[in-house]
Amino acid sequence: MSADSVFSLHRFSIAFGNTTVVDNLSLEIRRGETLALVGESGSGKSVSALGAMGLLPESASVIGERRLSDVDLSRLTARDWQGVRGNQVGFIFQEPMTSLNPLHTIVKQIGETLRLHQGLSGRAARERVRELLVQVKLPRPDELLDAWPHQLSGGQRQRVMIAMAIANSPRLLIADEPTTALDVTVQQDILALLAELRETHGMAMLFITHDLNLVRRHADRVCVLYRGREQETGPVSDVFQRPRSAYTRTLLDAEPQGRPSDFPVNAPPLLEARQLKVAYERPKRLFSRRRPPFVAVQPMDLQLHCGETLGIVGESGSGKTTLAMALLRLTGSSGEIVFDGTRIDDLAGNALRKKRGDFQVVFQDPFGSLSPRMPVADIVSEGLRFHQPELDAGEVGRRVAKALQEVGLPADCTARYPHEFSGGQRQRIAVARALILEPQLLVLDEPTSALDRTVQKQLVELLRDVQARRGLSYLFISHDLAVVRAMAHRIIVLKDGAVVEQGDCEQVLHAPRSEYTRALVDAAGLNG
């Protein structure tokens, strides 16, 4: 171990029962260095970090050497760990909604770590929290201090997690997919911020990601994992330009490519919105006048044809998900919504429930949308059993197996629970649950955000194939413009709830008219 080593693993292994998930891993991160840990979903990236920091359940068998500078982490007591986690080691977890307490405001959650490790409270803590929110580029920091997690977009929640992780200037920052829920422009801001903090404080960073473009631009060294085994480790330039492992070459070649199949020119509209608007009443404070409503989606018209994919892009908080939820009647709105020739904005009760089988959604956070108390078979078949109760158990089982096969999961996983899967595998379960009803419209809210590039490519090809065979329409929400380009026929660009520009996907991405769209394209690296 070198003198400036901050964190190291040597012959480190993790097993659950007779199943070894990390096998003989050795790595070292030095002061001021970023080591990227990459590999497919389920390769052992996240579980390695959790095991090293003593965050796995007692059923896990963890062996091997793990050190934080000169401290042997395997010898720490529960009390010792309290002074390490959140103080000397900061965490940015992959799924912010499951990491933030839904019952506490943002200022209270970030302030808790300041109180525990720095003794800050009251006005001093509140001001420090505000500074952190500004650091991570959150808009309207004064308003967000007293906001609740459910009031923030996915990207905003992720930035709150980053603020919490860097609050105590840790020696080691473990960033597990820190930009998963962020649009491409904010990705650059956040990673530039983390690089600045790393240089200023001499912080070491373990950067867990599936995005090799981010690794190329922001990491010093890279360690490639496959099924828990190290494939190769070295400087990023060496590994990317001269990969020794066939698996590494596969990762480097994986990129969503191609275009969706053409849909009929005379295809009828499936979904239409006229003057659709979403506004939220602000809470009234004592002895003060009620403020005007917050308009999340400005009045807009929208049309989606049968067999067409409409991409919705924009920064976090621009109204992408809110627009989709309004179209599905999952959030309040004004204006007309017409689905397959029927007005659904005025449907309610049984009439609306019967219609819901025709449009399904895959949410951004797969762990939050999957019941932790239900096995995969029940999760995937729940909607089918509700909408088609006449099916017998045998037929339901066959359809579940077929849906899982379509998304690349084995049929024998039906008895397992969500926590037993990686983030990418959970997202595929969510896709299977949506497809099993054979809907006319599928709303995909960041469906590839939790997936590594190889699985993204497979999922894109799967969705395009399903669309071509079934004539499905997709409303595709994503901050990943490379995936949008491979999936969408048309594209709508949103900013602050308003349409900045729209049109043919290729035309908008290759010749954007607005400065805002041009910034998104440049940050995604699609302009070269």
CB neighbour class for 381 (10 Å; exposed up to 12, middle 13-18, buried from 19): buried
On whether residue 130 sits in a domain, the answer given is no
Q: Which domain holds residue 189?
A: 5-104+163-252
**HSE-up of 49 (CA within 13 Å, CB side)?**
27
Identity of the highest mean pLDDT range in 172-186, 243-257, 280-294, 451-465: 243-257
Report pLDDT digits (tens) over 9-29. Answer: 999 999 999 999 999 999 999
Number of CB atoms found within 10 A of residue 344's CB:
21
On whether residue 262 sits in a domain, the answer given is no
Which of 235, 191, 249 lies closest to 453 in space, CA to CA?
249
Residues 341 and 211 occupy one common structural domain: no
pLDDT of residue 88: 93
Which of 412, 368, 398 lies closest to 98 in space, CA to CA?
368
Min mean pLDDT across 64-73, 176-185, 209-218, 469-478 is at 176-185
Q: Average pLDDT of 189-197?
A: 81
Which of 298, 325, 275, 328 lies closest to 440 in space, CA to CA?
328
Residues 170 and 244 occupy one common structural domain: yes
For the four alpha carbons of 263, 266, 271 and 277, in that order, the dihedral sign comes to positive
Residues 209 and 336 occupy one common structural domain: no
The share of the chain scoring above pLDDT 90, in percent, equals 56
On whether residue 62 sits in a domain, the answer given is yes
Residues 69 and 180 occupy one common structural domain: yes
Residues 213 and 310 occupy one common structural domain: no
Residues 190 and 297 occupy one common structural domain: no
| CATH code, domain with 9 | 3.40.50.300
Residues 317 and 354 occupy one common structural domain: yes
Number of domains in the chain: 2
Whether the CB-CB separation of 13 and 23 falls below 8 Å is answered with: yes
Q: Judge whether residue 285 has pLDDT over 80.
A: no
Higher per-residue confidence, 335 vs 189: 335
Higher per-residue confidence, 400 vs 188: 400
Grade residue 33 by pLDDT with cuts at 50, 70 and 90. very high
Grade residue 308 by pLDDT with cuts at 50, 70 and 90. very high
Q: Judge whether residue 528 has pLDDT over 60.
A: no
The whole-chain average pLDDT of the chain stands at 89
Which of 224, 264, 228 lies closest to 244 in space, CA to CA?
224
Min mean pLDDT across 56-70, 94-108, 135-149, 337-351 is at 94-108
On whether residue 375 sits in a domain, the answer given is no
Q: Which two tokens stand for residue 527?
A: 């302009």
DSSP-derived letter for residue 42 is T
On whether residue 174 sits in a domain, the answer given is yes
- CA 497/CA 330 separation, integer angstroms: 17
Q: Average pLDDT of 438-457?
A: 83
Residues 170 and 239 occupy one common structural domain: yes
Q: Judge whether residue 310 has pLDDT over 90.
A: yes
Residues 230 and 275 occupy one common structural domain: no
Q: Which two tokens stand for residue 3?
A: 């003198």
DSSP-derived letter for residue 285 is P
Q: Average pLDDT of 312-324?
A: 88
Q: Hey, what amino acid is at 88?
A: Q
Report pLDDT digits (tens) over 481-525. Answer: 889 999 999 999 999 999 999 999 999 999 999 999 998 888 777
pLDDT of residue 246: 93
For the four alpha carbons of 429, 434, 438 and 441, in that order, the dihedral sign comes to negative
Q: Judge whether residue 459 has pLDDT over 90.
A: no
Q: Hey, what amino acid is at 99?
A: S
pLDDT of residue 48: 95
On whether residue 483 sits in a domain, the answer given is yes
Residues 187 and 48 occupy one common structural domain: yes
Q: Which two tokens stand for residue 287?
A: 């002895």
pLDDT of residue 82: 87
Identity of the highest mean pLDDT range in 96-110, 165-179, 299-313: 299-313
For the four alpha carbons of 446, 229, 93 and 192, in that order, the dihedral sign comes to negative
The share of the chain scoring above pLDDT 70, in percent, equals 97
Q: Which two tokens stand for residue 452?
A: 């590594």
Q: Judge whether residue 290 has pLDDT over 70.
A: yes
Q: Judge whether residue 343 has pLDDT over 90.
A: yes
Q: What is the three-class DSSP state of 407?
A: coil
As a whole number of angstroms, the longest Cα–Cα distance in the chain is 70
Q: Hey, what amino acid is at 365?
A: D
Q: Which two tokens stand for residue 102?
A: 């839904």
pLDDT of residue 378: 95
- CA 481/CA 470 separation, integer angstroms: 25
On whether residue 518 sits in a domain, the answer given is yes
Q: Average pLDDT of 448-477?
A: 84
The CA dihedral of 437, 442, 443, 447, to the nearest 10 degrees, is: 80
On whether residue 27 sits in a domain, the answer given is yes
Whether the CB-CB separation of 360 and 430 falls below 8 Å is answered with: no
Residues 230 and 314 occupy one common structural domain: no
Residues 446 and 362 occupy one common structural domain: yes
Which of 1, 34, 86 lies closest to 202 in space, CA to CA?
34
pTM over 0.75: no
- CA 182/CA 315 separation, integer angstroms: 8
Q: Average pLDDT of 206-220?
A: 88
pLDDT of residue 502: 94
pLDDT of residue 192: 83
